[in-house]
Amino acid sequence: MSNDNKIRPPLTELDINTTAGGFYNGFATSVAVPAKIIISALVVWAIFWPVQSGAVLNGFNGFILGNFAAWYIWVVAFFVIVCFLLALWPAAGRLNLGLDGEGPEFSNFSWFSMMFGAGIGVGMLTWAVAEPVTHFQSNPETIMGLTTGGTEDNIRMAYKWSFLHWGLGAWACYAICGLSLAFFSYRRGLPLTIRSGLTPLFGSSLAGILGHIIDIVAVVATILGVAQTLGFGVDQFVAGLTRIGIGGLTDAEGAASTFGIIVALLIIMGASTLSALSGVGKGIKWLSNINMVLSIILLGFFIIFGATFFGFNAMFIGIWDYLIALPELSFNVFRSDGVEGSESFLLAQWQGWWPVFYWAWWIAFAPFVGLFLARISRGRTIREFVLGAMIVPALMCFVWFAWAGGTAIDLELNGGANGVIFDASNGDKIFAMTNFMLADISAILSWAMTVMIVVLLMTFLVTSADSAVLIVNTINAAGDEGPKARPHILFWGAALAFVVAGLLISGGTTAIQTAMVIGALPFSIVMALMAIALLKAVYNDSRREQAGVPMTHDKIEGATGNGLPSGLDGTPAE
């Protein structure tokens, strides 16, 4: 028997039923309708029964944190290992995420701008200042009595933990999804949807109910993950508008009021829906380029006029501490003894608040960012993808945390801020810091800087929201990247706004966080299977290359030798 018969070409067809004509023309109603029902039910539940929904969500959240914390920690470590293995593995690293010889559609600058803006960009404006400051005051080392919160001996710990949450683990979640989707869609010719990434494990059965369930899980996780980002962003957007001088948007305690939430969402989701209607090549590309330029200007301000040398030390010493501690941090799980207030209880609680929350957030965000990354990364190699979509953005996050957060810590320790920054809410910290820095120079300049940050925040939020709407519609349309009917774009734009508003009004950002952690759990299992399937596919492709068996969909057509599409004749898909 020849090698060609032993090693068959991979699956290149997945016939997902879509509706022809009518309101759902081009959509897989088995995915679109259940996803809409689930999200609509969540909105109604959160708005009309806020107390009950809050109690139930908190109960589920406690169960997940108590029983699945280790799973979240370890599965993200697995994603990091798989990404580096694929980049360093010669047979994998040189593979094109497209047809052989195909080049990328977007320039490196536009590619990185869209990737960063949709991936983590909006979080930078909240957490680049807030997180180092928070960990500077409390972290596992302070709980164990190894360092003292709020003092210089705790600075390195603050950056070690901040870099863990925004470093390789975060981008590995995105990279796994993006690599899988680009590989199976652009090399194999399969639909650009989540289920395609599991074809090496489940084959053509994914065209049926199993595939529908996987895509529904991905849509729900995407909406909840993006809602988490928008929830933080809305709080900060309202804080910025208040700093500019627009009143009536906050309550007596300074938090965003119901009216403020509605105003912010109307602005953000209105602009994002208009951008989504224009598509990824127009609105999203231009918005991404704009927010990248504004980000560089703001970051340059912190580097030049902020804590320049403090940030430099925080950057490089922080990276060193992070990389040295990464193996332990990636696998260590704090176990509670059940005694409230004990050291082990506090450590487990802290891990649930921070690493577990972040891993759930990145996993829930991964269908959206991964599919978006796949769309903009066609024609790049796996090695280029990992370097560009994992290491470079992580370094960019480190730069932001070092100089933005470092400036805040330095101003409090040595610059006479006296709690102005530390006492502000997380969303307001960056505004409090820039206002403090510029107050003695020029009130007009301080106001102008606030306006610029608000504009930058809005472009990040709009980029995330409109990208999410397009991605959800792509999944619902069985991977069709073409134009979608306006009513469906409008529905998901409104649905996203109502999810954020409903959960914020019923329980604040904590309610969104709880819903997101719950929604991320089933998709984390899907992602683990995607990583395994990708490894299997690359390994089998290396065997096909040696045997001279075609691997890309353009070369497979007519090459199966039996008149049947590969993978549908009783042979394994991979």
- Rounded to whole angstroms, the Cα distance separating 132 from 119 reads 20
| Among 138, 193, 237, 274, CA closest to 18 | 193
Query: Residues 6 or more apart from 279 whose CB is under 8 A from it?
Result: 470, 483
Q: Helix axis angle, 392-400 relative to 108-116, nearest 10°?
A: 60
- Rounded to whole angstroms, the Cα distance separating 132 from 188 reads 43
What would the pLDDT profile of 359-385 be if each residue is shown by its tens digit? Answer: 998 998 888 888 878 888 899 999 999
| Among 461, 232, 485, CA closest to 358 | 232
| Among 358, 393, 44, CA closest to 225 | 358
**pLDDT bracket for residue 469 (50, 70, 90):** confident
* Residue, of 478 and 275, whose pLDDT is higher: 478
* Residue, of 178 and 115, whose pLDDT is higher: 178
pLDDT score for 567:
42
Is the pLDDT confidence value at 483 over 60?
no
SS (H, E, C) 317-358: HHHHHHHHHHHHHHHCCCCCCCCCCCHHHHHHHHHHHHHHHH
Q: How far is CA 16 from CA 30, 31, 203, 207, 211, in A?
A: 10, 10, 13, 5, 9
Q: The dihedral of CA 293, 295, 298, 299: what is its sign? A: negative
- Rounded to whole angstroms, the Cα distance separating 324 from 316 reads 12
> What six digits make up the tokens of 285?
């590309």
- Rounded to whole angstroms, the Cα distance separating 574 from 571 reads 9
Please give the average per-residue pLDDT across 196-201, as a whole number.
95
Q: Quick one: 162 exposed, middle or buried, by C-beta within 10 A (0-12, 13-18, 19+)?
A: buried
> What six digits make up the tokens of 47?
């708005």
Kindly report each contact of residues 562-565 with a partner whose C-beta sits within 8 Å and lies 24 or more positions away, as own/partner. Answer: 565/11, 565/12, 565/13
Instruction: Give me the helices (H) in 122-257, please.
Output: 122-137, 140-143, 155-166, 168-182, 199-202, 209-244
CATH 1.10.3470 assigned to domain 3-19+90-101+152-556? The reply is no
Please give the average per-residue pLDDT across 537-547, as a whole number.
88
Q: Per mean pLDDT, which range of 15-24, 164-173, 523-532 is the poorest?
A: 15-24
Reduced DSSP (H G I as helix, E B as strand, rest coil) percent helix, strand, coil of the chain, to 5: 75, 0, 25
pLDDT score for 544:
87
Please measure the distance between the N-terminal and C-terminal CA atoms of the chain and give it in whole angstroms: 19
Model-wide pTM > 0.85: yes
Query: Residues 6 or more apart from 554 whose CB is under 8 A from it?
Result: 99, 189
Query: Residues 6 or more apart from 544 whose CB is under 8 A from it?
Result: 7, 9, 10, 550, 551
**pLDDT bracket for residue 317 (50, 70, 90):** very high
pLDDT score for 116:
65
Q: Per mean pLDDT, which range of 274-283, 429-438, 483-492, 557-566 is the poorest?
A: 557-566
Of all residues in the chain, the percent with pLDDT exceeding 70 is 90
Region for 547 from its dihedrals, namely left if φ exceeds 0, alpha if ψ lies in -120 to 50, beta otherwise:
alpha
DSSP code string of 239-279: HHHHHHT--SSB-TTSSBPHHHHHHHHHHHHHHHHHHHHH-
* Residue, of 287 and 337, whose pLDDT is higher: 337
What would the pLDDT profile of 83-97 be if each residue is shown by its tens digit? Answer: 999 999 988 888 889
| Among 525, 521, 523, CA closest to 60 | 521
* Helices then strands, each counted (H, E), the chain: 24, 0
Q: Per mean pLDDT, which range of 214-223, 270-279, 310-319 is the poorest?
A: 270-279
Is the pLDDT confidence value at 507 over 70?
no
Is the pLDDT confidence value at 570 over 50?
no
**pLDDT bracket for residue 123 (50, 70, 90):** confident
Region for 335 from its dihedrals, namely left if φ exceeds 0, alpha if ψ lies in -120 to 50, beta otherwise:
beta
pLDDT score for 283:
55
Cβ–Cβ under 8 Å, residues 574 and 197: no
**pLDDT bracket for residue 537 (50, 70, 90):** very high
- Rounded to whole angstroms, the Cα distance separating 113 from 403 reads 20
pLDDT score for 571:
40
